[in-house]
Structure 1
Amino acid sequence: MTPLQTRHVADLQVLDPQGRGQPWCAASALVLLGERLFSVADDELGLAGFELARPAQAGRCWPLLAAPALPEQAAARKARKPDLEALCSLPAAAAWPHGALLALGSGSTPQRCNWALQPLDAAGLPTGTALPFDTSALYAALRPAHPLLNIEGACVAGERFWLAQRGQPGGQPNRLLGWPLAALLDWLAGRSAPTPPAQALDCPLGALDGVPLGLTDLCALADGRLLFSAAAEDSDNPVADGAVSGSVLGCLDPAGGLQLLGRLPGALKVEGLATRPAGAGLEAWLVTDADQRGLAAQLLHLRLPI
């Protein structure tokens, strides 16, 4: 597989309530809005924002979910965390005239079936209180076809909303689930109940060093394709962590055509992906999850000739 070359930009830090920097750990998604990167983490309750011009500077945090503070002990934290694994930007609507960010729980346990919608202000910063959504009914409707439900990515591409269901070794395949964007906006506005996906695209990614690849994030490209990250993690269920062989990037076109672009260096688990056009190609930012409390997520940068 073609090796991809990345540049280490920063080990991400955020300001704690006392104004001190602390590691932003277990980053699980990334969105680029203007000159600012936003991230959620799978064992945190909030949203972090980082200035693209100063990525090594500690970022700001905003609360997403009104919940008791998570315990520091690893097993207790894993049991109670909301597992925010996906983040996407939403276009302007009556209730959020400057757009919004939507953070999504993975659905892998009953405690992980919450979404949070954070409206943005005219400067692209979070404003007001995040709106909570219990998506148990939607995830219950998905579970018969995906018994090991594990939503790892989300994006809006044109007039369609996509979720990335992560496959498991020896189990269900990687799959992209799509709905009309209007249907999503109707659910969020309370005008209708969630419906089954209008489209499902299987993503047979193969393996890396003998370990099956699973989708970890998703973002839309201007030409209609979907860029994705995937990691080879040796775990056969959506809750337990496993040894990671490495990560790859790839593209999927709306008809289901799949192209693996190459392997990222080392054995990092890349969990977040954001891009913007750059010349004849793209520049991309990636974040990693070390699955270790206290170890900061790495922010990486690379250029893609696609």
Structure 2
Amino acid sequence: MKEFILELLFTIQGIGAASGLIYREQDIYLISDNSNYLYSYSLETKTLKEKLLSERAVNVQVPKKIKADFEAITEIDSCLYIFGSGSTANRNLLVIYDFRLDRVDSIDMGPVYQALRENYAISADDFNIEGAIDLNSDIWLFNRGNGPGQKNGVFVLQRNNLAPKAYYPVTLPSLKGIPLGFTDATVVDNKIYFIAAAEDGSSTYLDGDVQGTVLGVLLPETLQIEYTQPISFSHKFEGLTHYISDSSSITFLLCEDQDGDADFSDIYRLVLPR
């Protein structure tokens, strides 16, 4: 087990249930699983801005039954790709935000998600997209195995047309006797760093009692896990992004989903030695 430093860096007021984040040019871009906004927080000015992603519901706190459930975010060619989880029929939206044009476009991922379920024999109860990365001209979507079948795995889409390309099941360990499920991933030096959380439950819709989060490394060439290690026994971290690196360490930023109605999000710094 590697020694690491995990510390609360700051708290952002005005956004709750943070489910993913991207660090880009001194700004942190965040999504929330109960909001239809993209949030940008400036590390220089300490200010928060909002960008509406979906007209389906413009209020900040969207009711659970109708929320888009944005859970996965990644950057591709100066655009943010923001994916709904697909865990219910109304959570199939992909929103693409173009930094250069300051424009939002959306795609219904329902047919793609349906094809993934059918092609790779994943039931609707086990389908729950929680992380996304851009790797080797493909988009990798991380399925969280918190359904009854515990289907942790990676779906691979062709980047140019979002067509299904492959699926790789991934076996994760347990934490305190509770199965782990992917919650996010990022790429550093051609290694996939991921986080996975343990919740005492077997539903992609209902929240369970949080038992903690682990950090792990997945090797993209072999789809083998290099290692995993607990980073918390009380927090459910749902977002992971690369922050800075040097010859001795890699630093990530993480966001926590507290599964409540809180109107703030804690941002943590995780320093991992090389």
TM-score by length of structure 1 reads: 0.82
2:49 alignment counterpart: 60
CA distance in 1, matches of 2:60, 2:103: 23
2:114 maps to 1:108? no
Match of 2:207 among 241, 248, 253: 241
Match of 1:82 among 68, 81, 93: 68
Q: Deviations over 1:192-244 (max 9, x none)?
A: xx43223x33221111111100000011122x211111100112110000000
The Cα shift of 1:279 comes to: 1.4
1:18 alignment counterpart: none
User: Do 1:70 and 1:81's aligned partners in 2 also have CA atoms closer than 8 Å?
Assistant: no
Residue 177 of structure 2 aligns with an amino acid whose one-letter code is: G
The Cα shift of 1:4 comes to: 4.0
The Cα shift of 1:259 comes to: 2.6
Match of 2:184 among 217, 242, 252: 217
1:304 alignment counterpart: 272
Match of 2:128 among 147, 150, 160: 150
Match of 1:184 among 133, 147, 159: 159
2:29 alignment counterpart: 38
Q: Deviations over 1:72-127 (max 9, x none)?
A: 5xxx8100100000011011xxxxxxx11111000000010001111003xxxxx4
CA distance in 1, matches of 2:175, 2:155: 24
1:275 alignment counterpart: 242
Match of 2:114 among 137, 140, 149: 140
Q: Would the alpha carbon gap of residues 298 and 71 (structure 1) be closer, same or farther in structure 2, given more than 3 Å must change?
A: closer
Match of 1:226 among 192, 196, 199: 192
CA distance in 2, matches of 1:168, 1:26: 18
2:4 maps to 1:28? no
Identity of aligned residues (%): 28
Structure 2: stretches of 5+ with no match in the other structure:
none
The Cα shift of 1:53 comes to: 3.9
SS at 1:204 equivalent: coil
Match of 2:141 among 163, 168, 188: 163
2:258 alignment counterpart: 290
Write out aligned runs for 1:189-200 (5 A). Answer: 194-198=162-166, 200=167
Give 1 or 2: higher strand fraction.
2
CA distance in 2, matches of 1:175, 1:104: 16
Number of residues of Structure 1 aligned to a counterpart in Structure 2: 268
CA distance in 2, matches of 1:268, 1:251: 19
SS at 1:197 equivalent: strand
Q: Deviations over 1:251-295 (max 9, x none)?
A: 101111203342123411000000144212311000000010125
Q: Would the alpha carbon gap of residues 207 and 2 (structure 1) be closer, same or farther in structure 2, given more than 3 Å must change?
A: farther
CA distance in 2, matches of 1:69, 1:258: 40
Q: Deviations over 1:145-202 (max 9, x none)?
A: 22121000001023221100111265132101223xxx323x3xxxxxx43223x332
Structure 1: stretches of 5+ with no match in the other structure:
14-21, 92-98, 122-126, 188-193
User: Do 2:35 and 2:60's aligned partners in 1 also have CA atoms closer than 8 Å?
Assistant: no
1:7 alignment counterpart: 7
**What RMSD in Å do the two structures reach over aligned CA positions?**
1.9
CA distance in 2, matches of 1:296, 1:4: 25
2:175 maps to 1:208? yes
The Cα shift of 1:5 comes to: 2.8
User: Do 1:4 and 1:262's aligned partners in 2 also have CA atoms closer than 8 Å?
Assistant: no
SS at 1:141 equivalent: helix
CA distance in 2, matches of 1:169, 1:140: 17
CA distance in 1, matches of 2:5, 2:155: 30
Greater shift after overlay, 106-115 or 160-169?
Answer: 160-169
Match of 1:120 among 83, 99, 110: 99
Residue 79 of structure 1 aligns with an amino acid whose one-letter code is: K
Greater shift after overlay, 82-91 or 4-13?
Answer: 4-13
